[in-house]
Amino acid sequence: MKIAFLFPGQGSQAVGMGRALAESSAAAAAVWKKADEALGFSLSRLCFEGPADALELTANTQPAVLAASVAAAAALQERGIQPDLAAGHSLGEYSALVVTGALGFVDAVRLVRRRGEFMQEAVPVGTGAMAALLGLELPAAEQACTEAAQGEVVSVANMNSPGQIVIAGHKSAVERAVKVAAGLGAKKSMLLPVSAPFHCALMSPAADRLAAELESMAVQAPRVPVFRNVDAKATTRAEDVKPFLIRQVASPVRWTQCLEALAGAGATSWFEVGPGRVLTGLLKRTVDGARGHAVEDTESLEKATTALAGGAAA
């Protein structure tokens, strides 16, 4: 039996996240204390109490989701539950690298705060957009983007599960692609309430700035394979950590392929570690027979622990 930890990305945040585990787990509380000290302000108070509009700012959201995820992993590890394999969706890849020892937590929480700033500043507000295309397979989504581009940027940004594709780029091009997708058979298409067009070529300036931040950062080989967004292959060496984090900013998230690769590597027990249950839903639609357990508070931690002990976490 192999345990896979899946770490959520931006969009899973909610006021109150992490509070229950911080109150019940010394290991989780220690993570929040480190985050507050590293950033020089009370990230924990922002997450536990809000306000929501401040938590939604990308520069706050990214370290918040990272801290909540690493704290949840610490609570699992406190009970002797460790991953054999790991992956994270977009920002979640940083959580995976921290939990597997490739990145130091203090370095990572500071880095993703800067990453959020870089991604927000790469494109003027209102210039870019993202949209979800439902019921459309990848070749048709790519065709919609090609037909809609007309000299602007629009491309596949997230391959979340079979039939769920997210596109990103210039707002007008994304709007055109949504119309084209409808004609190609998409069941439903909608613009997403995001502040920037993540994981497309418009994020290249952010990738360049992130590269400069990463240059002096210490990295190590992860203790277990971390399946990366860019190509769904496993990072097992220290020298692969930085290049793929840089490429990730402006490249599509191949999450469907990541889940398939984890299953192919022998994952049988799946834990979504951190806020929300988005990845558990995507897992169910991607890997036949897989059942994930979300671990985000004390109740879900108890359920996941009991399920694993009973051999029912697959």
Q: Which residues are catalytic?
A: 90, 199
| SS3 call for 102 | coil
Backbone region of residue 185 per phi and psi (left: phi > 0; alpha: psi in -120 to 50; beta: other values): left
Rounded (10°) angle between helices 58-78 and 92-99: 40
| SS3 call for 312 | coil
Place of tokens 């979640």: 92
The two tokens of residue 231 are: 């190509």
Separation CA 154–CA 200 (nearest Å): 7
Nearest 5°: phi and psi at 139?
A: -60, -40
Which residue, 297, 296, 302, is CA-closest to 79? 302
Do the strands 234-235 and 164-170 form a parallel or antiparallel pair, or are they unpaired?
A: unpaired
Cis? peptide before 51, omega within 30° of 0: yes
Place of tokens 């959201």: 61
Q: Where are the beta strands (DSSP E) in the chain?
A: 2-7, 85-88, 128-134, 154-161, 164-170, 188-191, 226-227, 234-235, 267-273, 292-295
Separation CA 284–CA 275 (nearest Å): 18
DSSP per-residue letters across 202-240: GGHHHHHHHHHHHTT------SS-EE-TTTSPEE-SGGG
Backbone region of residue 80 per phi and psi (left: phi > 0; alpha: psi in -120 to 50; beta: other values): left
